[in-house]
Amino acid sequence: MPTNGTPVVNAWTQWGRLETVVVGRADPKSCHLPHEPACHAEINDPLIADAIDWPGGSVKSAKSVELASAQLANFCAVLEAETVQVKSQKAFDSELKREVQKMRTEVIQNPDTKEKDSRVLQKGRISTLRPTEMDWSQSVSGPGWSSTSQYCATCPRDTMITIGNTILEATMSKRSRYFESLACREISLKLWRQDPEHVKFWACPKPSFADSMYHKDFWELSDKQRYERMRSYKFCVNETEPIFDAADITRCGKDIFVQKSMTTNDSGIKWLTSHFPELRVHPVHFPYDLYPSHIDCTFVPLRPPSADAGDGGLVLINSERPPLKSEAELWRKNGWKLLNAPLPAQTDRPPFSQSSYWLSMNLLSLGPKTMVIEENEIPLYNVLVEHGFDPITVPMRHMYDYGGGIHCSTWDIKREDSCVDCFPNQEYAPKHLYEQNFSDIDVVDVTSSNDGFLINPLTDIDGICGVGTLASKASRDCPDSPFSKKMRTA
């Protein structure tokens, strides 16, 4: 154990001061996701979609790899820097291919605190690690299944998570991602060998990936049919075997919250509950997300109620995917407030991105007051500043083609935190967590104030009409509600 008494692996919350983090890598042989029972990808740009089919299994272009690699390298430089400067400027965005207003962060040695429209932040140095480079173009197979290629190592958040002093490898739900955790295996083994007395290294059993593990008709349903089946919470993966992606988990000390989704089933949540008996594991549901996958673009704890500054505990929520009233009540009665994330500054999605534009809220907290957000997301930047935070920024839109954003591209290894109890007011009973016929779809009202805390409603912009908009409020219970497939989750 290090001299300060904290194990080399230690992360109990999403907001403790970050000390060590893995940042993903865009390898030269990164691939487009192949079609399989857990993934039916599609091209977002209709002109490109008319010209070509989804290039599943093919290697991404050298230019795409170069641009994503540059943004990940810059991200590392910002994390490793002692001091940064954030300033407003209009600049050309190479992914959007137009000039846009940005909040741009630069690493500086001699800060000019008098520069107009700028902030200087001494954030402290954060150690960064990188995955091992791999050839993802190789096919993989197992008894009764095969995949023409693998994927990439840009999003270690999906495959790996630190829970307290435990390194945990996720099962994954996609065949093409079976071996993805191997890119971080060298890091995991080194950390475990440094402190085997205090650091645990676990992996949930790998699933069989047999056809029987999936609901084969999931991708054939219309959105109308999905609305009609909302109460069932049945997605592409069934309950045959424990399944979870690590990015469906969010940590809050003694409590962890796990989203049921296309990538995590109830069996996976039960496995987590049985293997972390010292923690309280809570399933969470977001019924208006028809393609749920990964919680970090939907529900993001920012700071606990015990924080010294600001107006107490805050959790950033996605107004198009509101939490259930019943599940949000635990947060409210323990002093947390729900903060609506503003509509993304840019709703354009890269042509091959399989994530939603809500990657805008895919932030990485560096401490209780500081987080990293995408440099185009000025609406979110302003909201965070208004609530007492010191956000810094990086460009990350070229990463969107690789399945994630800022939070997705990281795996936090060590934070300055502990197993704090942020939810003392609760009656926790694991055996009551898994109702056989769970069907609650009564969500938090995101169009008005909550407990005196104003949640700004979205408006119907550019034809976008989600559950969080005033225009859709009256028709929430209508199965014909005009949700677009563009709203797919990160």
Which of 409, 369, 359 minimizes the C-alpha distance to 389?
369
Q: Token pair of 40, please?
A: 């039916």
How far is Cα 101 from Cα 345, in angstroms, rounded to an integer? 10
How far is Cα 56 from Cα 41, in angstroms, rounded to an integer? 8
Which of 366, 376, 378, 410 minimizes the C-alpha distance to 396?
376
Q: Exposure pattern of 349-382 as b/e (b: 16+ CB <10 Å)?
A: bbebbbbbbbbbbbbbbbbbbbbbbbbbbbebbe
How far is Cα 432 from Cα 444, in angstroms, rounded to an integer? 22
Catalytic member of 297, 408, 422, 465: 408
Residue 91 pairs with which residues in a beta bridge?
100
Catalytic member of 27, 245, 266, 289: 245
* 401: DSSP letter: G
Catalytic member of 294, 417, 422, 465: 294
Whether 275 is catalytic: no
Run of H or E residues at 58: none
For residue 359, the SS3 value is helix
Whether 294 is catalytic: yes
Residues counted in the chain: 490
Whether 245 is catalytic: yes
Which of 207, 209, 266 minimizes the C-alpha distance to 234?
266
* 36: DSSP letter: B
Q: Exposure pattern of 438-462 as b/e (b: 16+ CB <10 Å)?
A: eeeeebbebbeebeeeebebbeeee
Which of 228, 359, 231, 217 minimizes the C-alpha distance to 287?
231
At 342, the amino acid letter reads P
Give, in order, the Cα–Cα distances in Å from 112 to each of 75, 182, 233: 22, 44, 53
20 — phi, psi (to 5°)? Answer: -140, 135
Residues annotated catalytic, as ranges: 245, 294, 408
